[in-house]
Amino acid sequence: MIDNTFPGKDITLDDLATKIPLAAKKTAEHKSVFEVAGVKFGGDVVPVFAGPNTVESEAQIVETAIAVRRRGAHFLRGGAFKPLTFPYRGPKYFELREEGLTYLSKAKREAGIPVITEVMEAKYISAVAEVADILQVGARNMQNYPFLEEVARSRKPVMLKRHYGASLRDWLGAAEYLLYHGTEKLILCERGVVAPHTHRAASRFLLDIQVVPAAQEVTHLPVAVDPSHASFWRPWVPPLALSAIAAGADAIMLEVHPKPEEAAVDPLQAIDFATFDALMRRMDAVARAVGRRVLDS
């Protein structure tokens, strides 16, 4: 935070007072604490959202929901509506859309776990809100302001993913739209930014760990981290998840699949149940070292 009056990519004191008064902290200790479906955000426990990139079938999502719940996940994730990079759909790349929502709802009931899932268009907000406990606004919609207004009017809890090209100032501006138009429970999620050096030909983003303390310095909103989308590479997901917990992340989103190499979308980044199990314990150990925990017991 810089005490100047020049608008730009960094947040000024004037921004805090006049552009993001709802997202800005009121005091140094100000931190939002709220519950969604019995899960507390902003408290000592760091909630974990886990599940596949895409809802592929009833069996896949029910099996994953039960497996991640049993291993301590707090929320099931999985997209029924997907922002895929190319328009072609077929047996390899698909979205189940409304059918996927019915499978998510079955998985939620059978596993007894709340659901976070993406909504991409205003016309589907009410259908998605019937199964979702948290509406996910994806990176690509972060600055779709009319859409954010509609999402806020639903009054549902929201997780706002950071666009991979957005500054913290842009991201908090988008968060302010949601708060201004009626969202009361809002989580931010860092998911990797575009950078010239990403360390592997296939990796597109760099996890901005630094944004966790930077955001927490100016906003009271919980800050989640998604190391799966940030790294695009399975072996890097555990170390990045651990570093996010160490940096003070308030929630973690992880892609977990029964057979990661067969995942319909982003097969390189999902982890299997055994890796997830070990990672939950290691995240819990790191969280305890910084005064928090991941596992409820």
The H or E element containing residue 188 is: strand 186-190
Supply the minimum distance, in Å, between the C-beta of residue 83 and Mn ion: 8
Binding mask 38-77 for Mn ion (x = CB under 5 A): ---------------x------------------------
Supply the minimum distance, in Å, between the C-beta of residue 127 and Mn ion: 20
Per partner kind, with CB cut-offs from 5 to 8 A, the member of ligand PEP, Mn ion, none near residue 185 is none
139 binds ligand PEP (CB under 6 A): yes
Which lies closer to Mn ion via its Cβ, residue 55 or residue 287? 55
Between residue 194 and residue 213, which ones bind Mn ion under the rule CB under 5 A?
none
Nearest to 221 by CA among 257, 194, 262, 185: 185
Across the strands, what pairs with 39?
36
83 binds ligand PEP (CB under 6 A): yes
Which lies closer to ligand PEP via its Cβ, residue 255 or residue 284? 255
Between residue 185 and residue 214, which ones bind ligand PEP under the rule CB under 6 A?
191
Q: Is the dihedral of CA 233, 235, 239, 244 positive or negative?
A: positive
Nearest to 215 by CA among 158, 262, 175: 175
Supply the minimum distance, in Å, between the C-beta of residue 17 and Mn ion: 36
Q: At what angle do helices 237-246 and 273-289 cross, to 10 degrees?
A: 20
81 close to 119: Cβ distance less than 8 angstroms: yes
Binding mask 245-284 for Mn ion (x = CB under 5 A): ----------------------------------------
Amino acid at site 66: I
277 close to 250: Cβ distance less than 8 angstroms: no
Q: How far apart are CA 249 and CA 229, in angstroms?
A: 16
79 binds ligand PEP (CB under 6 A): yes
Q: How far apart are CA 224 and CA 244, in angstroms?
A: 9
Q: Is the dihedral of CA 157, 163, 166, 167 positive or negative?
A: positive
Q: Within its chain, how far is the Cα of 75 from the centroid? A: 11
Q: Residues in contact with ligand PEP, total (CB under 6 A)?
A: 10
Supply the minimum distance, in Å, between the C-beta of residue 127 and ligand PEP: 18
Per partner kind, with CB cut-offs from 5 to 8 A, the member of Mn ion, ligand PEP, none near residue 204 is none
Across the strands, what pairs with 158?
135, 186
Q: Within its chain, how far is the Cα of 145 from the centroid? A: 19
Which lies closer to ligand PEP via its Cβ, residue 12 or residue 53? 53
Among the listed residues 161, 220, 292, 293, the single contact to ligand PEP using CB under 6 A: 161
Q: How far apart are CA 131 and CA 156, in angstroms?
A: 11
Supply the minimum distance, in Å, between the C-beta of residue 103 and ligand PEP: 16
Position with the least CB separation from Mn ion: 53
Q: What residues contact residue 62 under an 8 Å CB cut-off, 6+ apart? A: 103, 106, 107, 110, 111
Among the listed residues 51, 138, 227, 248, the single contact to ligand PEP using CB under 6 A: 138
Binding mask 38-57 for ligand PEP (x = CB under 6 A): ---------------x----
Contacts with Mn ion by CB under 5 A lie at: 53
Contacts with ligand PEP by CB under 6 A lie at: 53, 79, 83, 118, 138-140, 161, 191, 229
